[in-house]
Amino acid sequence: MARKFLYVFAVLIALVIAGAFAYRLYGVEILRMALVPSERFTAQAGVDPKVYADRRLWIARPDIPGNPALWSPAGYTPEASPKAAVFFIHPTSYIGRDHWNARLDDAETNARAAIFLRGQASAFNAAGDIWSPRYRQATFGAFLTSEADANRALDLAYGDVAAAFAAFVRQVDPKRPIILAGHSQGALHLTRLLREQVAGKPIARRIVAAYVVGWPVSKATDLAALGLPECARPDQARCLLSWESFAEPADPSLITDLYDKTIGFDGRPRKDTPLVCTNPLTGTVDAAAPATANQGTLFPSADLATATIQPGKVPARCGPRGFLLIGEPPEVGGYVLPGNNYHVYDYSLFWANVRADALRRLAAFK
């Protein structure tokens, strides 16, 4: 499991368990039965930021051996002396239903998180030293239910992220610029981190950009509270990027059906509001670009142990609501979610462009 480059996403496990026909009939219900914990949430103590001085609580940081974020495909190498520091919050890698939150010493969960860092956080290793904390992440099933325990699990996870960020800030040279990035659950925690720990505070002056990828950000109800405008130019610094990838025909209803019932950060309903859509091929909002603009997509090897990079394979354009549309389904692997949702591949589809984007914005910042 630890050697696999891409994580076998929880939905696919549910499909194997239930069968494709049953999924089409009872999809969400099957996922809930398979993945939502049956136990009640058990309160746990928060952590002091001082505990994150321990290198064992980080999956990636510049002073630990075997840093998975230093992986790069052939033709690319990490920068020896990168200018920025990157705080990366990894996506959900705990799929168990025994508990609402992962244990920090869960070897299988941590191995999956390391896989994500190879395919996602590695895009930033030319721009900055990458720091990515272990945290008591909420299980995947927490996103399939409206139970209050799910919110408690997410609150606990965020508490660890906030503590790790405080430790990160304390340990990084105060003159270094900072890049913030996350994916899926990590991007959700990043929106809260921006609101509570960055917006309107002195550290905001050090933020090069925030990559809130794989989680919807409403332009109308959320963006202002995050303290950063959406990136309108490819050479703009101090701004926010966000996208969610779908092949066509796209059906994002599994997202919108739930999202449209939620309330934004400003207290207004999010229903039908447009989403921030940064085209990672252009670095601009609400844009379209052909496949020739794609500098490199990661394609996993047959045994999923590594990946090669190929340019010019995947186009991208922002759709009417703000989902990123990538044309016909590309053959990047079998882990596509219902509705042609390429969520697992949000970074790897545009790996080389994300790498160039971070370097460009860092140059503009300096």
Location of structure tokens 């049953």: 22
Interhelix angle for 185-193 vs 148-171, to 10°? 70
**Selected residue with higher pLDDT from 275 and 16:** 275
- CA nearest neighbour of 177 among 106, 232, 128, 248: 128
Give the global pTM: 0.90
Average pLDDT, the chain: 87
Strand order in the sheet with 324-325: 245-246, 324-325, 316-318, 288-289
What confidence category does residue 13 fall into, taking pLDDT thresholds of 50, 70 and 90?
A: very low
Residue 330 CA to residue 144 CA, distance in Å, equals 27
E strand or H helix at 361: helix 351-365
Tens digit of each residue's pLDDT (9 = 90 or more) over 118-146: 999 999 999 999 999 999 988 876 666 66
Average pLDDT (304-323) is 92
Compute the C-alpha angle 180/185/187, nearest 5°: 25
Tens digit of each residue's pLDDT (9 = 90 or more) over 67-79: 999 999 999 999 9
Q: Are 361 and 230 in contact (CB under 8 A)?
A: no
Q: In this predicted structure, which of 4-13, 268-277, 341-350 has the lowest mean pLDDT?
A: 4-13
Residue 135 CA to residue 109 CA, distance in Å, equals 11
CB count in 10 Å sphere of residue 66? 8
